[in-house]
Structure 1
Amino acid sequence: MRPYYADGGLSAAFYDVVTAADATLAGDVELYAGLPPAGGAVLELGTGSGRVAQALAERGLRVTGVDIAPAMLARAEARRAALPPEVAGRIELKRGDMTALDLKRTFDAVICPFFTLAHVPAGAAWKNAFAVAARHLPPGGLAAFHLPRLEVMRGLGPVNAAVPVMDQALGDGRRLLLFVKERSFRAPPGRLDQVIEYALADAAGRIVERSPERLSYWMADPEPFAAAAGLVLDRPPQPLGGAGDVWVFRKA
């Protein structure tokens, strides 16, 4: 059993395949792109494979992407290397912890996409992550956090471990299958735990590799954590794909 995005796991190797098929992310890039001014600088906490960083850089923004997982940063580096030089030059990638980061500079906007904050417990880690966002913003700067909806995560139905929740052709004869092997929700503290098994099938349909990985999401009201960091809600939470909302805060 591995944690999500660990070295050697299939979640990192096929992150782009899964996110490309995830309809709940539709429109997130446009939302983030509208936060900084044209040509502005963005700090992305949890840059993953660089999906959002690339899209923002293609729109002329300068992006510093930070991630704690070496496997994900390796994919982001490979993505950046394949871009045209003028786009690649607008992306900087760093390994770092979003709960303890200090780059000694500010950005026009800070973003934390695709439930990244929910990967850490909603307590001291959330408090520190909001403090990091505030530290890297000038007065008036915006910070956006994409968070899962508590009622959606709590309402997920029972699992059938034998039936894949995703079956995606990879274009080389192989298929990627995802199975939910375990799922539980605890309230309090508002925590969803799942074991997701990634499975690779060959052209004959035989499973040739399996990678069971544990994925947990913590959920809480982000406003008290933001307020403690000097951030105020800038607009109502922006719905995204039915499973979560993007919360946008402004540094006072």
Structure 2
Amino acid sequence: MAQARPYYADRSLSAAFYEVVTAADARLQGDLDIYADLAPAGGSVLELGAGSGRVAFALAERGLRVTGVEIAPSMLAQAQARLAGLPPEVAGRVELRRGDMTALDLKRTFDLVLCPYFTLAHVPAGTAWRNTFATAARHLASGGLAAFHLPLAEIMRLPAPPRDAVVLDQALPGGGRLQLHVLERTFRDGIGRLDQVVEYVERDASGAVVRRSPERLTYYVADPEPAAAAAGLLKDRDPVPLGGVGEIWVFRKA
């Protein structure tokens, strides 16, 4: 595959423009309402893979107390900068920490554990999934819920678009644009692994290229129920469809 830096690495354009891309992704519409409805009013939430704070801050605005854990320094720095600009009553309900969801132990429990926007799919569907579900179970109060947003396997198997096709074309402040291209895309059925190289292209108001960065994005797909069951979590309901490309799986701790 092409030379590419990892997604969300330091100085990557995927990190720099994360807010732009998520705001433009209509396939996420409705996820905040789903997550908010899973927690009791004024309840506590642990978010695994908090990114730049999109979910954590929205839930805090609704009165929930949220601890967001993120492993990528570039993403955590963005979340901390945004946190500083929130109204004090909202910011006071948010705690941000750097941590690894596969090996986390905060020594306390929550009403709800979230793993949104395909976060679990970024790690291999074996030991890492089992460890993440164990993390969720360890941090859940009895009867608490854990929600995992996972991609659909049939979407992961789709062929790559033409390399010159623009799969996202989004306006930027100042008159520039962000454009995305998929340079490579392969899916390995045996291990449920999608590998793709996505090129980020930033253009100025005249259309000239300012920055260009090919970045490697890997997803894993699998049935989450065995890993959940091994951690003592039982499926609470049928998976909730979201945006035609994924589902939110909800599990309950007995």
Same fold (TM over 0.5): yes
Q: CA deviation at 1:211?
A: 1.2
Match of 1:122 among 122, 125, 133: 125
Q: CA deviation at 1:162?
A: 1.3
Q: How does 1:36-185 map to 2 (within 5 A)?
A: 36-154=39-157, 156-185=158-187
Which residue does the alignment assign to 1:198?
200
AA in 1 matched with 2:59: L
Hey, what's the Cα distance between the residues in 1 that align with 2:117 and 2:149?
A: 6
Which residue does the alignment assign to 1:34?
37
Q: TM-score, normalised by structure 1?
A: 0.98
Q: How does 1:201-240 map to 2 (within 5 A)?
A: 201-240=203-242
Q: Deviations over 1:186-228 (max 9, x none)?
A: 1011111110011111111111211111000000000000000
Identity of aligned residues (%): 71
Paired residues of 2:160 and 2:182 also in contact (CA < 8 A): no
| Runs of 4+ with >6 A deviation | none
Q: Deviations over 1:13-42 (max 9, x none)?
A: 110100111111010000110111100000
Residue 188 of structure 1 aligns to a residue in which SS? helix
Hey, what's the Cα distance between the residues in 1 that align with 2:240 and 2:160?
A: 28
The gaps in structure 1 that reach 5 residues or longer are none
Are 2:9 and 1:6 aligned? yes
Provide the aligned length of Structure 1 versus Structure 2: 251
Q: TM-score, normalised by structure 2?
A: 0.98
Q: CA deviation at 1:139?
A: 1.3
Q: CA deviation at 1:158?
A: 2.9
Hey, what's the Cα distance between the residues in 1 that align with 2:112 and 2:40?
A: 9
